[in-house]
Every structure is written in structure tokens, then in C-alpha cells.
């Protein structure tokens, strides 16, 4: 009886939620402008607001004139004051939480989450599930067991502010009606060693009625591979009622073939776009490409054309100014006190009605040693198209420039860990090169002009990326190896695993 009630209640809530969501889809542009002015007005008396003349900001243009685009280093002096317990610095109150993340230049980053911002983190995930239930007209998964793969929920305190990984913070806000269905146990969740944690999760889940599993694709693959190795069965044989996988953190498409092989049966996939700074988007129609941008969740968005990013006079566009199928650096102003903050993600709009995006890369993850500025979306799409013509299975790959080869012209080196190699590796290589040339005219010009030779493929041993991540202390959690780089730091470390 209880299961029947939970399922039908979920269906009713989902239908109402989706109907209500139509308003923000239709009024996104006005909602965004109203939101920015509301955030500015709220923060007028903060230290940041006084220094940037918030009192005299009455339009988006005036905000952009007074508040420059910032990265963590720019906001760090303010955050350090907040960390010492000072209030009214970036936001009117001290944060409810700090989401602690690893940074490349700043050491650990402390991203503030206000009491106003936290509910939107939860609401984003809930909305993704409600849209799925409404589209599918099926909420059977609510009666089974669910895994929310996450970092440790143990939190420390920094001057009274609870601090930890975002996924660990979110664990404290999972609704009560899901708590009894949730796995793994608290004792397992707080384990720091990732491989030990995965083994323990398998013990707790292998004989359960798993219906929903959530996590980033590399983590899911590791979990599924260990399960299949232990039982000699596909995941759908082990979990016949598995209905839904919710994933985020990286583009799912390069992992799709491997996931489908491991699953061995139909499982719906819903992709999301969360981060410590906010929950930005989710797949509102799991049958279509693209993620619905959440324009009423306490975040004002700006978009800098990628080719202008970091340059003087770079344009900062609002929703009504963006173009489809162009790459933009994502800039955020949030109700947690981040102002014109460059998160480092690159997005590409594929729809304006409603606004839907693809995550196409990172501002710092690109290859442009020769002026080509190849981004993650281009290499992932090139790989996807190549695999359609030359079937193979890819565990992971990394692209790096080889500027000074022992002989011949410079080239792009693709370090690839194959689960199953293509029948003809040379034909695979030629196709991959052609597919990248078709997507990046600068790269095509460099090849045509004999500045670069065709890309080279370096085959890596099984578990190469796993061992690399382990050696760097970045195994598990939200860690993922960049798909491409503008130097050879990662490539040089991966080369010890080449075949």
C-alpha cells in the first residue's frame, strides 16, 4: 500500500511541477534581468556591493560596466574574509556552507553556498526527476533502492561554516521519503579510499532491488565493471528493475557505448549539469539532446564568445543576445555571492525555445599549441563519428600537442585506452583526423598547409587512466582526467602505460 502511495504521489507531483515550469521556460529573458537587479539590490550594503557601486546599478549594462568578469583568484580575498567569520562581504550573511573543491592554481577552493542558494541545488535534481516521471508517466523507481554516488558526507567547520564536497553536503538534504531507499550506508559513504569504497558499495547493493543509480560516467563504469567481473552477468541481469541512471559532471556521449555494453539492456539516462556554484541545467526530455537551462534558480547568466574569452573588450551577452551553435564561456552571478564569476565551463545553445545547452568543454581544457583552439566538444564529436564508421570501444582518451617530435612535422597525439580496438587502426586514425578537420577549420588549415602532420594514436594498456588517476590522488569522486590539454604534462605521465 505504501509503495502504491509513493508511486502515485510522485506521478501527481511530477505533473504539477512540469506544468508550473512552463512559466519560467516562456519568460526566461525577463526573469533573468529581474533576477540580476534583485540580487544587486539585496547586496547593496555588502563590502563587494559598496566597492562596485551597486546602489547606482539599474540595468544589466550598468552592472557589466561596474563588475568585471572574475575567477576564483579575483574573489579569493573576499572569500578569505568570509572564511574568517566576517559577514556582509560578498552576500548579506555568512554562507550556510562552503563547497570545497580542488583548484589548479589556488589550491583548494571554497565556494560559498548561502541559505538562499542551497534549496536550488536540491530543487534542480528534484526537477530533473519530475520531468522524467512526467515524460515517462512512470515512477516505479521510487519503490526500489537508489544509489546517490557521492563524496563523504562528513563535514568540517571553517569558523562555524560547514565545509565539504558538494555531493557530501547534498547528502544531508535528501528528502526523508527517499532515505529508507537510499544506499550505500553512512559508514560506507564516509570512506575516503575510493577502491575500498566501491568494493563495499558492491557488497551492500549486489543483492538489492536497484532501480536508480546516480553518478559521473567514469565512476559508474568502474562500479559496473567490478559487478560484472564478480558475477559474470550484465547489469540488467543483476538489477532487472533498474530503470534510470542520472549522470552529470562530464559529457555522457563518449561513454555511451561502454555503458550500454555493461548494462546489457534498456535503461533510461537523464543528464544533468550541477556544480558547486549552482545547479544549472538538466535533460528535461530524456528522448532529446540538450539540457534545459534553469533561468529561475537564483543564477544570472552571461555568455562570453569563446574566441573572445580573456581578451580586452570581450562581449558579455545575455540570453536574448546569444546565437545557436556557438561556444560561450559561462559567467555566473548567484544568490550565494558570486559576481560575474567565470566557472570555467563552455556551453553551446541548441535551442532558444526553451533555452537548451550542451556542455562543450572547459575554458582551460583545449589544444591550441599551433593556433587551432580545438575544444572538448569537437574531439568528442569527432571520436563519436569515427566510432560509427570503425566500431571500437574506448575506455578513455587524452589529446595533447607534440610540438617537437623526434622526426617529421608536429602533430596531435591521441593517447587512447581501448577496451576493444578497431579492426583497422590506421583507417580509424585517418577517419578520426578527417572528422576533426571537418569540425575545426583552423586544424584543417594547419594540415592542408603542411604545418602539422596527421594525428598520431598512442595505445595505452588496460586500466591506464585508472592507474594514472590513482597515482595523482584523484581516483573517484568528481575527479576526471581532462580530455585534452595545451601541454604535455598529463601525456608524459600517461606514456608510461603505452603498449
**31: how many CB neighbours lie within 10 A of its CB?**
17
Residue 123 has pLDDT above 50, yes or no: yes
pLDDT class for 14, splitting at 50, 70, 90? confident
Residue 165 · residue 477 · CB < 8 Å: yes
pLDDT tens digits, one per residue of 432-468: 999 999 988 889 988 988 889 999 999 999 989 888 8
In degrees and rounded to multiples of 5, residue 244 shows phi and psi of -145, 135
Quote the CA–CA distance of 399 and 383 in Å, as a whole number.
Answer: 11
Residue 140 has pLDDT above 80, yes or no: yes
Residue 374 · residue 484 · CB < 8 Å: yes
* Choice among 31-35, 130-134, 369-373, 417-421 with the minimum mean pLDDT: 369-373
pLDDT tens digits, one per residue of 309-366: 888 899 999 999 999 999 999 999 999 999 999 998 889 999 999 999 998 777 777 7
Residue 190 has pLDDT above 90, yes or no: no
pLDDT tens digits, one per residue of 230-258: 999 999 999 999 999 999 877 787 778 88
Instruction: Identify the CA nearest to 373 among candidates 439, 432, 430, 303.
Output: 439
**122: how many CB neighbours lie within 10 A of its CB?**
14
C-alpha cell read off for 268: 533510461
Instruction: Identify the CA nearest to 315 among candidates 80, 66, 61.
Output: 61
Residue 282 · residue 291 · CB < 8 Å: yes
Phi-psi region of 252 (alpha: psi -120 to 50; beta: other; left: phi over 0): alpha
Residue 358 · residue 292 · CB < 8 Å: no
**For position 478, what pLDDT does the model report?**
56
State the first-to-last Cα distance of the chain, in angstroms, to the nearest integer: 58
**For position 107, what pLDDT does the model report?**
62
**For position 431, what pLDDT does the model report?**
96
Residue 468 · residue 496 · CB < 8 Å: no
E-strand stretches of 306-443: 327-334, 341-352, 355-362, 366-367, 374-375, 393-402, 411-420
**15: how many CB neighbours lie within 10 A of its CB?**
14
In degrees and rounded to multiples of 5, residue 88 shows phi and psi of 60, 40
pLDDT class for 105, splitting at 50, 70, 90? very low
**For position 31, what pLDDT does the model report?**
93
Better-predicted residue by pLDDT, 297 or 23: 297
Residue 2 has pLDDT above 50, yes or no: no
Better-predicted residue by pLDDT, 351 or 289: 351
Quote the CA–CA distance of 281 and 288 in Å, as a whole number.
Answer: 14
Residue 122 · residue 189 · CB < 8 Å: no
Residue 179: Cβ-neighbour burial (10 angstroms; 0-12, 13-18, 19+): exposed
Q: What share of the chain is helix, strand, coil (3-state, %, to 5)?
A: 40, 25, 35
Residue 104 has pLDDT above 50, yes or no: no
Better-predicted residue by pLDDT, 190 or 54: 54
Residue 82 · residue 89 · CB < 8 Å: yes
pLDDT tens digits, one per residue of 471-487: 887 666 555 778 888 88
Residue 471 · residue 388 · CB < 8 Å: no
Q: Please state whether beta strands 97-102 and 108-113 pair in parallel, antiparallel, or not at all (unpaired).
A: antiparallel
DSSP labels, 251-276: -SGGGHHHHHHHH-S--EEEEEEEET
pLDDT tens digits, one per residue of 141-177: 888 999 877 777 889 998 889 998 888 888 888 776 6
pLDDT class for 219, splitting at 50, 70, 90? confident
- For the chain, give the number of residues: 499
Residue 496 has pLDDT above 50, yes or no: yes
In degrees and rounded to multiples of 5, residue 367 shows phi and psi of -120, 115
Q: Please state the separation of Cα 207 from the chain's center in Å.
A: 30
* Choice among 23-37, 130-144, 170-184, 392-406 with the minimum mean pLDDT: 170-184
**For position 476, what pLDDT does the model report?**
60
**For position 374, what pLDDT does the model report?**
86
Q: Please state whether beta strands 366-367 and 374-375 pair in parallel, antiparallel, or not at all (unpaired).
A: antiparallel
Region 211-224 average pLDDT? 87
C-alpha cell read off for 121: 541545488
Whole-number mean pLDDT of the chain? 89
Better-predicted residue by pLDDT, 107 or 147: 147
Residue that has been written with the C-alpha cell 564561456 in this structure: 329
User: How many helices and strands (H and E) does the chain possess?
Assistant: 18, 20
Residue 4 has pLDDT above 60, yes or no: no
Classify residue 52 by its DSSP letter: T
Residue 318: Cβ-neighbour burial (10 angstroms; 0-12, 13-18, 19+): middle
Residue 1 has pLDDT above 70, yes or no: no
Better-predicted residue by pLDDT, 216 or 300: 300
Q: Which of 4-18, 188-202, 408-422 has the highest mean pLDDT?
A: 408-422
**327: which residues sit within 8 A by CB, 6+ positions away?**
305, 306, 346, 347, 348, 360, 361, 375, 377
C-alpha cell read off for 53: 557601486
Percent of the chain with pLDDT over 90: 55
Amino acid at each position: 500500500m505504501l509503495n502504491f502511495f509513493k508511486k502515485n504521489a510522485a506521478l501527481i507531483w511530477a505533473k504539477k511541477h512540469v506544468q508550473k515550469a512552463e512559466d519560467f521556460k516562456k519568460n526566461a529573458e525577463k526573469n533573468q534581468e529581474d533576477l540580476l537587479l534583485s540580487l544587486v539590490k539585496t547586496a547593496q550594503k555588502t563590502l563587494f556591493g559598496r566597492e562596485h557601486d551597486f546602489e547606482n546599478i539599474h540595468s544589466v549594462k550598468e552592472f557589466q560596466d561596474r563588475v568585471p568578469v572574475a575567477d576564483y583568484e579575483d574573489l579569493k580575498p573576499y572569500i578569505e574574509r568570509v572564511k574568517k567569520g566576517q559577514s556582509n562581504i560578498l552576500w548579506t550573511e555568512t554562507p550556510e556552507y562552503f563547497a570545497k573543491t580542488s583548484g589548479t592554481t589556488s589550491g583548494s577552493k571554497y565556494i560559498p553556498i548561502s541559505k538562499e542558494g542551497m534549496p536550488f541545488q536540491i530543487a534542480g535534481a528534484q526537477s530533473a526527476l519530475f520531468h522524467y516521471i512526467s515524460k515517462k508517466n512512470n515512477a516505479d523507481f521510487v519503490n526500489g533502492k537508489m544509489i546517490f554516488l557521492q563524496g563523504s558526507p562528513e563535514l568540517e567547520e571553517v569558523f562555524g561554516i560547514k565545509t565539504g564536497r558538494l555531493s557530501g553536503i547534498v547528502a544531508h538534504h535528501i528528502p526523508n521519503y527517499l532515505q529508507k531507499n537510499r544506499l550505500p550506508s553512512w559508514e560506507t559513504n564516509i570512506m575516503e579510499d575510493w577502491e575500498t569504497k566501491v568494493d563495499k558499495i558492491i557488497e551492500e547493493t549486489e543483492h538489492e532491488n536497484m532501480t536508480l543509480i546516480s553518478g559521473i560516467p567514469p565512476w559508474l563504469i568502474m562500479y559496473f565493471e567490478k559487478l560484472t567481473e564478480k558475477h559474470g552477468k550484465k547489469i540488467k541481469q543483476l538489477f532487472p528493475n533498474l530503470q534510470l541512471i542520472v549522470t552529470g559532471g562530464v559529457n555522457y556521449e563518449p561513454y555511451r557505448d561502454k555503458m550500454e555494453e555493461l548494462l546489457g539492456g534498456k535503461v533510461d539516462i537523464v543528464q544533468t549539469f550541477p556544480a558547486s556554484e549552482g545547479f544549472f541545467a538538466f535533460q528535461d526530455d530524456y528522448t532529446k539532446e540538450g539540457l534545459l537551462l534553469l533561468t529561475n534558480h537564483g543564477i544570472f547568466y552571461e555568455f562570453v564568445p569563446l574566441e573572445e574569452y580573456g581578451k580586452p573588450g570581450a562581449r558579455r551577452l545575455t540570453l536574448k543576445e546569444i546565437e545557436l551553435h556557438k561556444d560561450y564561456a559561462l559567467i555566473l552571478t548567484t544568490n550565494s555571492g558570486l559576481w560575474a564569476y567565470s566557472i570555467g565551463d563552455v556551453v553551446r545553445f541548441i535551442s532558444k525555445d526553451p533555452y537548451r545547452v550542451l556542455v562543450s568543454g572547459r575554458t582551460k581544457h583545449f589544444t591550441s599549441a599551433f593556433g587551432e583552439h580545438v575544444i572538448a566538444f569537437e574531439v568528442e564529436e569527432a571520436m563519436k563519428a569515427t566510432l560509427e564508421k570503425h566500431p571500437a570501444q574506448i575506455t578513455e582518451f587524452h589529446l595533447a600537442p607534440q610540438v617537437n617530435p623526434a622526426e617529421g612535422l608536429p602533430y596531435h597525439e591521441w593517447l587512447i585506452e581501448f577496451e576493444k580496438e578497431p579492426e583497422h587502426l590506421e583507417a580509424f586514425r585517418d577517419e578520426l583526423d578527417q572528422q576533426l578537420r571537418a569540425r575545426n577549420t583552423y586544424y584543417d588549415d594547419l594540415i592542408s598547409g603542411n604545418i602539422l602532420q596527421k594525428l598520431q594514436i598512442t595505445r595505452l594498456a588496460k586500466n591506464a587512466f585508472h592507474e594514472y588517476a590513482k597515482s595523482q590522488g584523484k581516483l573517484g569522486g568528481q575527479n576526471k582526467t581532462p580530455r585534452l590539454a595545451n601541454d604535455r604534462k598529463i601525456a608524459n605521465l600517461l606514456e608510461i602505460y603505452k603498449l
